Chains A and B, each alone.
Chain A
Amino acid sequence: MRNFYLIKNGELIRKHDTLYFIAKKEPANSNEDFILEDDTIESFCELDDESTKPEYEKKALPIEQIDAIFLYGRISLTSGAIGLLAKKQIPTHIFSYYGQYLSTIYPKETLLSGDLHVKQALHYANSNERLYLAKLFVKGSAANILTNIRYYERQGREISPILSSIKERIDEIEHMSSINELMALEGNIRLLYYSTFDAIMPSEFSFKERTRRPPQNPMNAMISFGNSLVYGEIITALYHTQLDPTISFLHEPSERRFSLALDIAEIFKPLIVDRSIFKLVNKKMISADDFNQNIGSCLLNENGRRLFLEEYESRLQTTIKHRSLHRKVSYKRLMYLECIKIVKHLLGLKKYEPFEIWW
């Protein structure tokens, strides 16, 4: 199972049990999973009869192999297409032109357990239980951050003082007595982490500081783009469990609709997003030409998105031998397993231990 990323403008339609994507024809050698048309002009995308327009083509999507669809282009969906996505239980995540997460077409929930739902809510409502889980999310995230920068320290980069500060902060997690304190500490660790980026990355990808809406430079553009992908990925994983994605522990449930996905995404960003970025940049797979730089904003352009998505998807498909399952699992599957571990915690079956990179 894999994701499908549509980064081109077009239309999704259904004929019987097949989903088709209609869009402008691509040059012969392009990768069909990643199709982008760079077009900022807002207009409706209406293609009445594709057969009358030779420049358009209709492609069947391999719906049985699709785990989730990520929409980046301006794409019209017919009610038939939405119905088929629901029937095949494929969540469809929608992003803005700027790559920001907008919304998910969430298929009807089929896996509900009243019992688990009550337990999840009780864990949220009990401040000790909530703090307990929230701390573990921060710990997992911090541990993975530490693994990332330890690697660069071994490579001889000048980051030892920051590394020790991060370690000190990690020791403080245990002593936090409220969610607010914990959130502040988490933000602090993340800032320290980002402050190592300029020592890790070549100067044309200078990071300076984290800027979000909109990102101000290529590094920020990639972080924003990648983080929303992981957020979508966790929403997909949650959909396949009985967890309620709106009841979270670290983040406030009011913060975003699927706030539990925010909690879990923290743990995976260092492995999935940051490492994709380090690789793309340090191996010179991506360059300044792959961004659209405007005054006050910087975004991945068509080619940049393709490059990023290819690297990201191949990382999701990377497998590792699981320590307790003794089976090969993909990074993508690790995210699902993380949700399962939370289910077990809520059921009182096994105390949750956050995912930490073990290799």
Chain B
Amino acid sequence: MDLVNGYLPSGTEIQYYAICHTKLWLFAHYIRMEDNSDDVIIGRIIHEDSYKREQKEIIIHDKIALDFVKKGDTLVIHEVKKEYNLVDVHRLQLMYYLWYFHHILEIWPVEGIINYPTHKTQEKVMLNDQDEMLIPEIILKIEKIVHQSSVPIPKKIRPCSKCAYFEFCWV
């Protein structure tokens, strides 16, 4: 697709873009911290246990891993998340997936649902025309950040305290 020069971020990179550009750059450059934080483990357990029955997991182009079901003509993709505090970030990630299905895989109609099993709630995500424009812009911005030669300087923000890079950024 001309719009995005063929560069397509992973779902994780979209999330990190929305949270912190330092994190995005480090992750993209394989400066990874060993994740032994309980959060990550709990997240994985929730993911494995909660939606076993209905869904299948698919991994697309090595970038996107998600669960999906088919409802009539519409494909419904599900994301499972632990905490409620990053709703905007989760929504953006799912919007990207919807966009990906529409423009890259050319599958439509698609609907998105974010599931918060610990809160027993769901959040529906749609893609309006404005979002359709927004996503390619974000992709370009991510590409720019990832390709810049120096790390974006860390800024202290709320997510820092739970971030795997906490020690890295603040030592």
Instruction: Give the distance in Å from the alpha carbon of A343 to the alpha carbon of B30 in the complex.
Output: 12
Answer yes or no: A324 CB below 8 A from chain B CBs: yes
25 residue pairs of the A-B complex, CB under 8 angstroms, read A111-B30, A112-B30, A113-B31, A113-B32, A115-B31, A242-B30, A242-B31, A322-B171, A324-B170, A324-B171, A325-B167, A337-B167, A337-B171, A340-B167, A340-B171, A343-B31, A343-B168, A344-B168, A344-B171, A347-B31, A347-B151, A348-B151, A349-B150, A349-B151, A349-B153
* Closest beta carbon of chain B to A148's beta carbon, Å: 23
Answer yes or no: A341 CB below 8 A from chain B CBs: yes
Instruction: Give the distance in Å from the alpha carbon of A111 to the alpha carbon of B168 in the complex.
Output: 15
Please state if B167 and A111 are interface contacts (CB–CB under 8 Å): no
Please state if B34 and A348 are interface contacts (CB–CB under 8 Å): no
Instruction: Give the distance in Å from the alpha carbon of A298 to the alpha carbon of B171 in the complex.
Output: 41
* Closest beta carbon of chain A to B28's beta carbon, Å: 9
Residue of A116, A240, A337 touching B29 (CB-CB under 8 A): A116
Instruction: Give the distance in Å from the alpha carbon of A241 to the alpha carbon of B170 in the complex.
Output: 16
Instruction: Give the distance in Å from the alpha carbon of A114 to the alpha carbon of B171 in the complex.
Output: 23
Leading 5 A-B pairs by shortest Cβ distance? A113-B30, A115-B29, A337-B171, A349-B151, A113-B31
- With a CB–CB cut-off of 8 A, which chain A residues contact B31? 113, 115-116, 242, 343, 347
8 Å CB interface, A304-359 against B: 322, 324-325, 337, 340-341, 343-344, 347-349
- With a CB–CB cut-off of 8 A, which chain B residues contact A347? 31, 150-151
Convert A105-122 into 0s and 1s, putting 1 for each residue whose CB lies closer than 8 angstroms to a CB of B.
000000111111000000
Taking A115-B29, A325-B166 as known contacts, 4 extra A-B pairs with beta carbons closer than 8 A to each other, sorted by chain A number, are: A111-B34, A242-B31, A325-B167, A347-B31
Instruction: Give the distance in Å from the alpha carbon of A348 to the alpha carbon of B34 in the complex.
Output: 22
With A348-B151, A349-B153 given, is the CB distance from A340 to B30 under 8 Å? no
Residue of B30, B32, B150 touching A114 (CB-CB under 8 A): B30
* Closest beta carbon of chain B to A349's beta carbon, Å: 5
- With a CB–CB cut-off of 8 A, which chain A residues contact B34? 111, 240
Instruction: Give the distance in Å from the alpha carbon of A111 to the alpha carbon of B170 in the complex.
Output: 21
Instruction: Give the distance in Å from the alpha carbon of A111 to the alpha carbon of B34 in the complex.
Output: 9
Q: Which residue of B lies closest to A116 (CB)?
A: B31
* Closest beta carbon of chain B to A186's beta carbon, Å: 25
* Closest beta carbon of chain B to A23's beta carbon, Å: 30
Instruction: Give the distance in Å from the alpha carbon of A84 to the alpha carbon of B85 in the complex.
Output: 38
Instruction: Give the distance in Å from the alpha carbon of A114 to the alpha carbon of B34 in the complex.
Output: 17
Instruction: Give the distance in Å from the alpha carbon of A341 to the alpha carbon of B170 in the complex.
Output: 10
Instruction: Give the distance in Å from the alpha carbon of A341 to the alpha carbon of B167 in the complex.
Output: 10
Interface size on A, residues (CB 8 A): 19
Interface residues of A (CB under 8 A from B): 111-116, 240, 242, 322, 324-325, 337, 340-341, 343-344, 347-349
Interface residues of B (CB under 8 A from A): 29-32, 34, 150-151, 153, 166-168, 170-171
* Closest beta carbon of chain B to A240's beta carbon, Å: 6
- With a CB–CB cut-off of 8 A, which chain A residues contact B150? 347-349
- With a CB–CB cut-off of 8 A, which chain B residues contact A116? 29-31
Instruction: Give the distance in Å from the alpha carbon of A242 to the alpha carbon of B31 in the complex.
Output: 7
Please state if A341 and B32 are interface contacts (CB–CB under 8 Å): no
Most chain A CB neighbours (cut-off 10 Å) among B31, B34, B166, B171? B171
- With a CB–CB cut-off of 8 A, which chain B residues contact A325? 166-167, 170-171
* Closest beta carbon of chain A to B114's beta carbon, Å: 30
Please state if B171 and A341 are interface contacts (CB–CB under 8 Å): yes
* Closest beta carbon of chain A to B75's beta carbon, Å: 35
* Closest beta carbon of chain B to A142's beta carbon, Å: 22
* Closest beta carbon of chain B to A319's beta carbon, Å: 14
Instruction: Give the distance in Å from the alpha carbon of A344 to the alpha carbon of B153 in the complex.
Output: 11
Q: Which residue of A lies closest to B25 (CB)?
A: A347
* Closest beta carbon of chain A to B59's beta carbon, Å: 20
Q: Which residue of B lies closest to A112 (CB)?
A: B30
- With a CB–CB cut-off of 8 A, which chain B residues contact A112? 30
Residue of B29, B166, B167, B171 touching A113 (CB-CB under 8 A): B29
* Closest beta carbon of chain A to B27's beta carbon, Å: 10
Instruction: Give the distance in Å from the alpha carbon of A240 to the alpha carbon of B32 in the complex.
Output: 10
* Closest beta carbon of chain A to B21's beta carbon, Å: 13
* Closest beta carbon of chain B to A57's beta carbon, Å: 31
- With a CB–CB cut-off of 8 A, which chain A residues contact B171? 322, 324-325, 337, 340-341, 344
- With a CB–CB cut-off of 8 A, which chain A residues contact B153? 349
Instruction: Give the distance in Å from the alpha carbon of A340 to the alpha carbon of B170 in the complex.
Output: 10
Most chain B CB neighbours (cut-off 10 Å) among A240, A340, A348? A340
- With a CB–CB cut-off of 8 A, which chain B residues contact A113? 29-32
Instruction: Give the distance in Å from the alpha carbon of A349 to the alpha carbon of B152 in the complex.
Output: 8
- With a CB–CB cut-off of 8 A, which chain B residues contact A341? 171
Q: Which residue of A lies closest to B161 (CB)?
A: A327
Instruction: Give the distance in Å from the alpha carbon of A242 to the alpha carbon of B29 in the complex.
Output: 11
* Closest beta carbon of chain A to B110's beta carbon, Å: 35
* Closest beta carbon of chain A to B169's beta carbon, Å: 9
